[in-house]
């Protein structure tokens, strides 16, 4: 049986534990924005880390899951999630609260992921792993060609919107607009078909080719 | 697809997807994503997004991010990484001069993993102490009394831990220099006491009557306090946890 000192100590430990649980419960009741406000207002390091821990704890798994989809491997995903939260912490004072914190964090995550991709492209061993569906390149634009291209872009946008289904549009935009590799797109959009994003790209290009041909035929008919 | 017959060149495609000044900001996309947002959705923005491939794709990605659920086989890894990496991130946040994590370099990964393990262990300790002891003003409770004494040193628990085939016969921990007596307590998860005792050694035998009360499937907690010859508390342990998975057997 514990002596009187031991009994007093157990009681004090129980008080500590109850207080810890209370603190956790109260932290969990706060909104993200309230946690950020407390974090920014706190001046002492240990106090600040309590708010930040709860804020980041809520979103860590989501960011890590996203990074896992983006990179396709656990080690890079883990590095990327850490870099994302380090950046989020550094720029937290710029969060104005005009969106949800998770949306702001998404923007940070996306930016980190794109930087990671850029860096990876600079490494020779990464080139073969990426699947890029090339489009014909007409080279640098003369002023006339640039003007024509701007007009063509509008037409292409309209034709894409008209001819493709939603998933094809998303795959097309991410691949040709953001230069995302097809395997990344497959994972980000959770595509479960056998060929993943590549299948959507091939189908979309065929549809677009047909749509452009039909548009040109209509255009020529109107000219005539 | 034969590129030679494809009628649109890469730059025209790029231009078709380029952001325009009318494109929605991330905050505007957020409002479209979240109907409950106090700001509501601007009609001009909604109209633009409806006709913009770039904005619609961004919106779709944002929704994928918000709804991201891990693959079931990744869940244990995910939980382990959150527990491991989050303290490391907070540790770095507390020390702004520290460099950001280096990017993936396969040749250095092994060394870094070992180093990170040590750093994470230190960081985890720092965070545990911070979470336990920090008292943010609006949440302040009476936790301050005596905490400095309890956290002076740690008693390291050796076992039991985790799932056990039968109720443990004894509890063991590492010796604490200067300790003459150890107070031990076994609790249920709501911290109701199941048994408490004292020992002058780094182990305590559990009475058969106590072992018989260790119901299979029910988690139990235990903790140790070390006191010196003057009866002063010099170290406490973290709370250990174990669970008996098989029915209790009568043993001599």
**In angstroms, what CA-CA distances link B248 with B160, B188, B216?**
15, 17, 7
Highest mean pLDDT among A65-69, A175-179, B1-5, B245-249: A65-69
Q: Say yes or no: A143 contacts chain B, CB-CB below 8 A.
A: no
Q: Say yes or no: A160 contacts chain B, CB-CB below 8 A.
A: yes
State whether the Cα torsion B151-B156-B160-B161 is positive or negative. Answer: positive
> Is the backbone peptide bond immediately before B160 cis, with ω within 30 degrees of 0?
yes
Is the pLDDT higher at A18 or at B211?
A: B211
Interchain proximity A189–B64, CB inside 8 Å: yes
- Look up the pTM and report it: 0.65
Percent of chain A with pLDDT over 70: 82
Asked whether the predicted pLDDT for residue B120 surpasses 50, the reply is no
pLDDT digits (tens, 9 = 90+) for A196-221: 999 999 998 888 888 878 877 877 77
Report, as an integer, the average pLDDT of B167-182. Answer: 93
Percent of chain A with pLDDT over 90: 47
Structure tokens at B150: 């309890």
Q: Is B194 exposed, middle or buried (0-12, 13-18, 19+ CB in 10 A)?
A: middle
Asked whether the predicted pLDDT for residue B4 surpasses 60, the reply is no
Interchain proximity B104–A102, CB inside 8 Å: no
- Residue A142's pLDDT band (boundaries 50, 70, 90)? low
Contact B12, A158 (CB under 8 A): no
Partners of residue A53 in chain B, C-beta under 8 Å = 86, 90, 127, 130-131
Structure tokens at A151: 């007009």
Asked whether the predicted pLDDT for residue A130 surpasses 80, the reply is no
Rounded to an integer, what distance in angstroms lies between the CA atom of residue B252 and that of residue B250? Answer: 7
Range scoring the smallest mean pLDDT among A44-53, A87-96, A157-166, B223-232: A44-53
Interchain proximity B33–A103, CB inside 8 Å: yes
Q: Say yes or no: A162 contacts chain B, CB-CB below 8 A.
A: no
Report, as an integer, the average pLDDT of B1-19. Answer: 65
pLDDT digits (tens, 9 = 90+) for A98-109: 889 999 999 999
Angle of helix A4-29 versus helix A45-71 axis, rounded to 10: 60
Is the pLDDT higher at B64 or at B249?
A: B64
Q: Say yes or no: A177 contacts chain B, CB-CB below 8 A.
A: yes
Is the pLDDT higher at A125 or at B95?
A: B95
Q: Which residue has the tokens 């076992």?
A: B159
Identify any residues that bridge with B188 across adjacent strands, giving them in sequence order: B220
Interchain proximity B6–A82, CB inside 8 Å: no
Rounded to an integer, what distance in angstroms lies between the CA atom of residue B84 and that of residue B120? Answer: 6
Contact A205, A175 (CB under 8 A): no
Interchain proximity A133–B1, CB inside 8 Å: yes
Q: How high is the pLDDT of residue A133?
A: 54
The mean of the pLDDT values for chain B is 74
Structure tokens at B17: 């997807």
Contact B170, B204 (CB under 8 A): yes
Q: Measuring CA to CA, which residue among B56, B27, B57, B67 is closest to residue A178?
A: B57
Asked whether the predicted pLDDT for residue B241 surpasses 80, the reply is yes
Rounded to an integer, what distance in angstroms lies between the CA atom of residue A47 and that of residue A25? Answer: 16
Q: How high is the pLDDT of residue A152?
A: 72
Contact B55, B29 (CB under 8 A): yes
Cα angle vertex A92, ends A87, A98, to 5°? 125
Interchain proximity B183–A99, CB inside 8 Å: no
**In angstroms, what CA-CA distances link B250 with A52, B165, B208, B214, B215?**
50, 13, 8, 12, 13
Rounded to an integer, what distance in angstroms lies between the CA atom of residue B236 and that of residue B241? Answer: 15
Is the pLDDT higher at A148 or at A43?
A: A43
Q: How high is the pLDDT of residue B247?
A: 57
**In angstroms, what CA-CA distances link B91 with A86, A108, A180?**
10, 20, 33
- Facing residue for B191 by CB, picked from A14, A44, A152: A14
Report, as an integer, the average pLDDT of B47-55. Answer: 90
Highest mean pLDDT among A150-159, B47-56, B117-126: B47-56
Bridge pairing between strands B233-237 and B157-159: unpaired
* Number of CB atoms found within 10 A of residue B28's CB: 22
User: What values do phi and psi take at B184, rounded to 5?
Assistant: -125, 145
Asked whether the predicted pLDDT for residue B205 surpasses 50, the reply is yes
Rounded to an integer, what distance in angstroms lies between the CA atom of residue B234 and that of residue B227? Answer: 5
Q: How high is the pLDDT of residue B39?
A: 56
* Number of CB atoms found within 10 A of residue B168's CB: 20
- Facing residue for A65 by CB, picked from B61, B70, B141: B70
């Amino acid at each position: 049986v514990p002596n009187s000192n031991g009994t007093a100590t157990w009681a004090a430990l129980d008080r500590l534990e109850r207080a810890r649980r209370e603190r956790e419960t109260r932290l969990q009741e706060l909104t993200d924005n309230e946690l950020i406000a407390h974090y920014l207002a706190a001046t002492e390091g240990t106090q600040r880390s309590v708010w930040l821990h709860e804020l980041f704890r809520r979103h860590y798994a989501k960011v890590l899951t996203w990074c896992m989809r983006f990179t396709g491997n656990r080690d890079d995903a883990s590095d990327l999630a850490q870099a994302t939260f380090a950046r989020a912490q550094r720029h937290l004072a710029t969060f104005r609260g005009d969106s949800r914190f998770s949306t702001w964090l998404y923007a940070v995550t996306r930016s980190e992921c794109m930087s990671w991709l850029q860096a990876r492209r600079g490494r020779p061993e990464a080139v073969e792993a990426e699947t890029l569906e090339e489009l014909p390149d007409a080279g640098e634009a003369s002023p006339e060609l640039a003007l024509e291209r701007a007009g063509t872009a509008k037409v292409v946008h309209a034709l894409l919107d008209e001819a493709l289904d939603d998933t094809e549009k998303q795959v097309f935009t991410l691949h040709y607009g953001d230069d995302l590799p097809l395997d990344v797109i497959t994972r980000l959009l959770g595509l479960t078909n056998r060929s993943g994003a590549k299948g959507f790209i091939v189908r979309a290009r065929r549809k677009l080719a047909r749509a452009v041909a039909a548009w040109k035929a209509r255009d020529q008919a109107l000219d005539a | 697809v034969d590129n030679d017959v494809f009628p649109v060149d890469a730059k025209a495609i790029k231009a078709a997807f380029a952001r325009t000044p009318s494109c929605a900001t991330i905050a505007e996309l957020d409002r479209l994503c979240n109907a409950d947002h106090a700001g509501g959705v601007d009609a001009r923005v909604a109209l633009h997004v409806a006709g913009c491939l770039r904005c619609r794709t961004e919106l779709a990605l944002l929704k994928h991010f918000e709804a991201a659920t891990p693959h079931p086989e990744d869940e244990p890894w995910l939980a382990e990484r959150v527990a491991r990496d989050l303290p490391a991130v907070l540790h770095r946040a507390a020390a702004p001069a520290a460099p950001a994590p280096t990017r993936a370099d396969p040749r250095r990964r092994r060394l870094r993993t070992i180093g990170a393990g040590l750093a994470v262990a230190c960081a985890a300790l720092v965070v545990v102490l911070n979470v336990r002891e920090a008292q943010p003003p609006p949440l302040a409770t009476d936790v301050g009394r005596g905490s400095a004494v309890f956290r002076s040193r740690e008693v390291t628990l050796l076992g039991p831990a985790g799932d056990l085939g039968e109720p443990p016969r004894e509890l063991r921990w590492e010796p604490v220099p200067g300790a003459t007596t150890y107070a031990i307590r076994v609790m249920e998860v709501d911290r109701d006491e199941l048994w408490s005792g004292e020992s002058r050694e780094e182990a305590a035998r559990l009475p058969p009557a106590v072992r018989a009360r260790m119901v299979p499937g029910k988690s139990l907690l235990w903790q140790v306090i070390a006191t010196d010859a003057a009866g002063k508390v010099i170290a406490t342990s973290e709370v250990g946890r174990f669970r008996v998975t098989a029915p209790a057997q009568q043993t001599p």
